[in-house]
Amino acid sequence: MPLHARDVSGQRAADLPDVPVDYTIGEMVAGVLAQMKLPENDVEGRKLNYHPLLEREGRHLHASEIVGDALQDNDQIVLQPNIDAGSR
């Protein structure tokens, strides 16, 4: 399934020509983060978690959702970082 991803700033983007439809959203995000070389930690060393926003529906996707169920061809995904408070 072809998808497009970008970070929230719009500075980094990736075209994903063939995302397996049986992947979970969590598996897809892990692969996209590596491809886009997004940071794993903030400037203070705290772990960043990225939440994908499906632009077509204006909602955040859950890591357990299945790509083929939640997404359509050429959907736009925006990866938004979220800091886990208290973790290092």
CATH number at 60 reads 3.10.20.90
Residues 44-75: pLDDT tens digits?
Answer: 888 888 999 999 999 999 999 999 999 999 99
Residues 20-35: pLDDT tens digits?
Answer: 999 999 999 999 998 9
In a domain, 34, yes or no: yes
CA distances 25 to 7, 35, 61, 87, Å, are 16, 15, 7, 23
In a domain, 66, yes or no: yes
In a domain, 50, yes or no: yes
Q: How far apart are CA 75 and CA 5, in angstroms?
A: 8
In a domain, 88, yes or no: no
Pair 49, 60: CB distance under 8 Å: no
In a domain, 42, yes or no: yes
Q: How far apart are CA 32 and CA 29, in angstroms?
A: 5
In a domain, 69, yes or no: yes
Q: How far apart are CA 79 and CA 72, in angstroms?
A: 17
**Locus of tokens 């357990």:** 64
Tally of domains in the chain: 1
Residue-number span of the structural domain to which 46 is assigned: 3-83
Name the pTM for this structure: 0.85
